[in-house]
Amino acid sequence: MFIKETDQFPVIRVSYQPQDSIPVKDNLEIYESLLDKEQNFVFVSQGQFPEAEPNHEERKIVAAWVKQKREILTQYVKALVHIEPNEQIRLAEQKFANNFIKFSGYPMFIVENEKQADQIINSVLKLH
C-alpha cells in the first residue's frame, strides 16, 4: 500500500499500483506523520490489487512496523475502504478483507463505488 494523497485528511488516498510505488522507508515516514496527528482517519483505495507478491524484505519491514504500532493503528486508523466496481473481483477481494484486520488492526471494506465508500467513511469517522 502506497500513500498517495494526504491533503484531504482525514481521508487518505492510497494505491496498490506499481506505478505509484514509493520506497518503504518513505511510505512509513508518511504513515508516522499521519499517526502523529493523533486524529482518526481512513484510507481509501481503488483498482485491482497487484498479482505479484511484494518484496520479501519489504514485507518483513512493514510487518515489524505494524506489530510495533498495532495499538496506535487500532486507535486512529478507522478503516481501509477499497472501491472495486467489478462484482467478481470484489467477491475475491472480500476474502483478503476478512483477514486484513488480523494483520493491520483496522477493518477493510470492499465497496462498489464512491457513494458506498463515502457512506462507510462518514460512518467510521462519525462525520454525519
In the structure grid, which three cell numbers stand for residue 102, read together? 488480523
Q: Report the pLDDT value the prediction gives residue 55, as an integer from 0 to 100.
A: 79
Round to whole Å and give the CA distance between 62 and 31. Answer: 11
Sign for the CA dihedral angle at 74, 70, 24, 18 comes to negative
Give 38-57 pLDDT, tens digit per residue: 999 999 999 877 776 667 88
pLDDT digits (tens, 9 = 90+) for 76-125: 999 999 999 999 999 888 888 888 888 888 999 999 999 999 999 999 99
Q: Where are the domains of the chain?
A: 2-125
DSSP of 34-95, one letter per residue? HHHT-S-EEEEEESPPPSSPPPHHHHHHHHHHHHHHHHHHHHHEEEEEEE---HHHHHHHHH
pLDDT of residue 16: 87
Q: pTM to 2 decimals?
A: 0.91
- The burial of 44, by beta-carbon neighbours within 10 Å (0-12 exposed, 13-18 middle, 19 or more buried), is given as buried
pLDDT-derived band at 18, boundaries 50, 70, 90: confident
Kindly report the backbone phi and psi dihedral angles of residue 54, in degrees, each rounded to the nearest multiple of 5, phi listed first: -65, 160
Fold of 2-125: Phosphatidylinositol Transfer Protein Sec14p (3.40.525)
Could you report how far apart the first and last alpha carbons of the chain are, in Å? 28
Q: Which residue has the higher pLDDT, 19 or 54?
A: 19
The predicted model gives 30-38 an average pLDDT of: 96
